[in-house]
């Protein structure tokens, strides 16, 4: 069977296919216990398998029509999977998701139609458009919005936090956290690298969207007190780095963006699965009810810690490497502009600061999570007694190990095998010696331990109750949970105004769209008042109009 005109395997989509397979297997293993004795199990597994198959088709196809159809079907399975939870909130979320993702599919249809009109073919490897007409611009923007809706960049992000909060956690870990990111950013990279010849305005546009997404979403994450919603906002904010990286248009930046997409899928699904472990044991995901779980769920704690540090971009984990490449891309972009382009240079600098400060804010909200869930004082977790079963901790451990390997051996493993072949024209770039640095840190640790295990130097450890205000009894009464960690920030004057607006749904395109549609609807409602004479008047007026047209034209 000849696959070529319909399907094509190249260096960009090959490794994405591999990772789709990996996430599929891990989620299947995980679901064995997590979904045990839930309703609609047969449907659940059916949709999970369908999603994996559809994703593979989307990734490997070479035909825009096929891409469009299966892209739309993925939106459908997402809708069905969110609905598995079978309560009111979930079905509202599913509706919202379907409207946003489906709406963007319509734009994609328009974009593909324009591409066909301009180039006369649906074969992706035959298309190469440059931005010389407004039609091309329109086509590109339509496709970009479709990618953004799938991956969750602003302003079409608002379904992800809701989905994270109300859908089953495995679904969130599977679709918005990993597969949708892979697909959305894959398509963005595909159209920006292959289908269109990028120009400087489009690059700047992507970079600004990326920077805004990073900062705005992470500021929202900072004040959340539900872990799942917090993670959902991070799933939005991290997309900013990928868009920013691809938007730089510089080889290092693009490679960084694609690498970040891969890394994000890995640590974010690890985080969602660890949260699922916590929720499975404690039956809650509210920060103020949790606390002190590190002793009870040690494996979950460690993998969650690794993933948190990765997402915050702490060396030597994988998030650091990709962020570092993105920064480098921005700086290269900055130097590429000569001194006359003050505005462009300025945007690049702002994006750089936004990206780096965004990673500080990410760190802050994950410190809150680690403190509130695993460390800190004990919450009301009375029913917890032991670590979850191996089928549930194994996927998180595997993902955490991948985080470490991709960080420490960034150059020999993921970059060389997956990323660099996919991006043309990369001349690497001094490596940062993650291996050597890690080795030095480990050596230092070993040295320290061996020195302190000498007989005379051995430190004496003793366990005692914590102590406050010269007594130990008051401790149970004063618990600092994660909820009030950043209230100071929330109460700053300007920010508190923005936060109030954001919580009222002011920046949510779905809420605004709803308001718009209902406003139109109210106008029509006014006409439909149910009184027979008024309908008769309408009929009469319509008839008169018709007669006028027929007789006098």
Identity of the residue, 108 or 348, whose beta carbon is nearer to another protein in the bound complex: 348
β partners of residue 196: 129
- Contact between 412 and another protein per CB under 8 A: no
The sign of the CA dihedral 411, 417, 419, 424 is positive
Segment lying near another protein (by CB under 8 A), choices 83-91, 484-492, 499-507, 543-551: 484-492
Identity of the residue, 457 or 532, whose beta carbon is nearer to another protein in the bound complex: 457
Q: Under a CB-based contact definition with an 8 Å cutoff, are residues 433 and 440 in contact?
A: no
Shortest gap between Cβ of 329 and another protein (angstroms)? 11
Identity of the residue, 229 or 368, whose beta carbon is nearer to another protein in the bound complex: 368
Shortest gap between Cβ of 262 and another protein (angstroms)? 20
Instruction: Count CB neighbours of 76 within 10 A.
Output: 17
Shortest gap between Cβ of 492 and another protein (angstroms)? 7
Instruction: Count CB neighbours of 421 within 10 A.
Output: 15
* Rounded-to-10 torsion of CA 48, 49, 54, 60: 120
How far apart are alpha carbons 235 and 217 in whole angstroms? Answer: 9
- Contact between 464 and another protein per CB under 8 A: yes
How far apart are alpha carbons 144 and 108 in whole angstroms? Answer: 8
CA 305 to chain centre: 19
Q: Under a CB-based contact definition with an 8 Å cutoff, are residues 35 and 403 in contact?
A: no
Identity of the residue, 14 or 292, whose beta carbon is nearer to another protein in the bound complex: 292
Shortest gap between Cβ of 217 and another protein (angstroms)? 16
Identity of the residue, 66 or 294, whose beta carbon is nearer to another protein in the bound complex: 294
Shortest gap between Cβ of 407 and another protein (angstroms)? 12
Give the number of residues in contact with another protein, rule: CB under 8 A.
76
- Contact between 497 and another protein per CB under 8 A: no
* Rounded-to-10 torsion of CA 243, 247, 253, 257: 20
- Contact between 313 and another protein per CB under 8 A: yes
Segment lying near another protein (by CB under 8 A), choices 51-59, 166-174, 260-268, 291-299: 291-299
| Among positions 5, 21, 298, 542, the unique one binding another protein when judged by CB under 8 A | 298
Instruction: Report angle CA 206, 207, 212 to the nearest 5 degrees.
Output: 100
How far apart are alpha carbons 306 and 401 in whole angstroms? Answer: 9
In the shown chain, the binding pattern of residues 354 to 393 toward another protein, with x for contact by CB under 8 A and - for none, equals --xx--xx-xx--xx-xx--xxxxx---------------
- Contact between 324 and another protein per CB under 8 A: yes
Identity of the residue, 445 or 543, whose beta carbon is nearer to another protein in the bound complex: 445
Q: Under a CB-based contact definition with an 8 Å cutoff, are residues 251 and 424 in contact?
A: yes
Identity of the residue, 346 or 518, whose beta carbon is nearer to another protein in the bound complex: 346
- Contact between 431 and another protein per CB under 8 A: yes
Identity of the residue, 347 or 388, whose beta carbon is nearer to another protein in the bound complex: 347
Nearest to 130 by CA among 208, 62, 191, 67: 191
Name the token pair of 264: 């994000």
Rounded to a whole number of angstroms, the distance between the first and last alpha carbons of the chain is 60
176-235 residues in contact with another protein (CB under 8 A) are none
- Contact between 294 and another protein per CB under 8 A: yes
- Contact between 437 and another protein per CB under 8 A: yes
- Contact between 455 and another protein per CB under 8 A: no
- Contact between 433 and another protein per CB under 8 A: yes
- Contact between 441 and another protein per CB under 8 A: yes
- Contact between 473 and another protein per CB under 8 A: no
| Among positions 459, 523, 530, 533, the unique one binding another protein when judged by CB under 8 A | 459
- Contact between 488 and another protein per CB under 8 A: yes
- Contact between 43 and another protein per CB under 8 A: no
- Contact between 491 and another protein per CB under 8 A: yes
| Among positions 21, 444, 521, 542, the unique one binding another protein when judged by CB under 8 A | 444
Using H for helix, E for strand and C for coil, what is the string for 314-376? CCCCHHHHHHHHHHHHHHHHHHHCCCCCHHHHHHHHHHHHHHHHHHHHHHHHHHHHHHHHHCC
Using H for helix, E for strand and C for coil, what is the string for 265-322? HHHHHHHHHHHHHHHHHHCCCEHHHCCCHHHCCHHHHHHHHHHHHHHCCCCCCHHHHH
- Contact between 454 and another protein per CB under 8 A: no
- Contact between 461 and another protein per CB under 8 A: yes
CA 441 to chain centre: 31
| Among positions 128, 295, 416, 515, the unique one binding another protein when judged by CB under 8 A | 295
3-state SS, residue 61: strand
- Contact between 346 and another protein per CB under 8 A: yes
Shortest gap between Cβ of 505 and another protein (angstroms)? 26
Name the token pair of 488: 């100071």
| Among positions 37, 42, 88, 339, the unique one binding another protein when judged by CB under 8 A | 339
Shortest gap between Cβ of 47 and another protein (angstroms)? 38
- Contact between 327 and another protein per CB under 8 A: yes
Identity of the residue, 188 or 355, whose beta carbon is nearer to another protein in the bound complex: 355
Widest CA span of the chain, in angstroms?
113
Instruction: Count CB neighbours of 34 within 10 A.
Output: 23
Segment lying near another protein (by CB under 8 A), choices 72-80, 281-289, 472-480, 509-517: 472-480
How far apart are alpha carbons 259 and 415 in whole angstroms? Answer: 8
Shortest gap between Cβ of 432 and another protein (angstroms)? 5
How far apart are alpha carbons 303 and 297 in whole angstroms? Answer: 10
β partners of residue 468: 471
Shortest gap between Cβ of 377 and another protein (angstroms)? 6
């Amino acid at each position: 069977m000849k696959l070529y005109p319909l399907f094509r395997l190249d260096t960009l989509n090959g490794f994405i296919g591999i990772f789709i397979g990996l996430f599929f297997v891990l989620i299947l293993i995980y679901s064995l216990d997590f979904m045990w004795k839930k309703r609609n199990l047969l449907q659940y597994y059916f949709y999970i398998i369908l999603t994996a198959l559809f994703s593979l088709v989307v990734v490997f196809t070479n035909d825009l029509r096929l891409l469009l159809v299966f892209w739309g079907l993925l939106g459908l399975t997402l809708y069905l999977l969110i609905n598995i939870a079978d309560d009111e909130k979930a079905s509202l979320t599913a509706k919202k998701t379907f409207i946003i993702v489906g709406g963007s599919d319509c734009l994609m249809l328009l974009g593909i139609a324009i591409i066909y009109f301009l180039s006369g073919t649906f074969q992706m490897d035959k298309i190469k458009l440059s931005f010389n007409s407004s039609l091309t611009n329109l086509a590109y923007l339509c496709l970009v919005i479709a990618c953004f809706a799938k991956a969750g960049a602003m302003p079409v992000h608002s379904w992800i936090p809701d989905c994270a909060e109300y859908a089953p956690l495995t679904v969130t870990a599977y679709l918005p956290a990993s597969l949708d990111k892979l697909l959305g950013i894959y398509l963005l990279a595909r159209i920006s690298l292959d289908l269109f010849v990028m120009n400087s305005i489009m690059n700047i546009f992507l970079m600004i969207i990326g920077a805004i997404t990073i900062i705005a979403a992470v500021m929202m994450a900072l004040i959340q007190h539900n872990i799942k919603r917090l993670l959902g906002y991070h799933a939005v904010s991290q997309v900013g780095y990928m868009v920013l990286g691809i938007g730089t248009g510089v080889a290092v930046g693009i490679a960084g963006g694609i690498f970040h997409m891969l890394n994000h899928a890995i640590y974010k699904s690890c985080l969602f699965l660890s949260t699922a472990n916590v929720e499975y044991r404690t039956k809650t995901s509210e920060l103020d009810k949790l606390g002190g779980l590190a002793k009870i769920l040690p494996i979950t704690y460690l993998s969650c810690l690794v993933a948190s540090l990765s997402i915050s971009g702490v060396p030597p984990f994988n998030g650091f490497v990709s962020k570092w490449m993105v920064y480098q891309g921005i700086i290269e972009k900055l130097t590429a502009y000569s001194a006359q382009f003050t505005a462009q240079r300025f945007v690049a600098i702002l994006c750089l600061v936004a990206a780096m400060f965004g990673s500080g804010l990410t760190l802050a909200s994950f410190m809150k999570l680690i403190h509130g869930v695993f460390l800190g004082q004990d919450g009301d977790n009375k029913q917890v007694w032991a670590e979850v079963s191996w089928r549930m901790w194994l996927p998180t451990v595997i993902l955490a190990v991948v985080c470490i390997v991709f960080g420490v051996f960034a150059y020999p493993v993921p970059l060389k095998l997956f990323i660099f072949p996919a991006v043309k024209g990369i001349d690497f770039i001094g490596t940062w010696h993650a291996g050597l640095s890690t080795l030095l840190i480990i050596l230092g640790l070993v040295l320290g331990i061996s020195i302190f295990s000498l007989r005379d130097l051995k430190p004496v450890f003793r366990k005692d109750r914590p102590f406050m205000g010269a007594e130990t009894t008051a401790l149970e009464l004063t618990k600092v949970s994660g909820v009030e960690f950043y209230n100071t920030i929330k109460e700053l004057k300007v920010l508190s105004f923005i936060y109030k607006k954001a919580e009222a749904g002011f920046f949510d395109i779905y809420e605004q769209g709803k308001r718009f549609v209902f406003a139109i609807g109210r106008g029509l409602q006014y006409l439909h008042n149910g009184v027979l004479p008024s309908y008769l008047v309408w009929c009469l007026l319509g008839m008169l109009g018709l007669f006028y047209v027929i007789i006098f034209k």
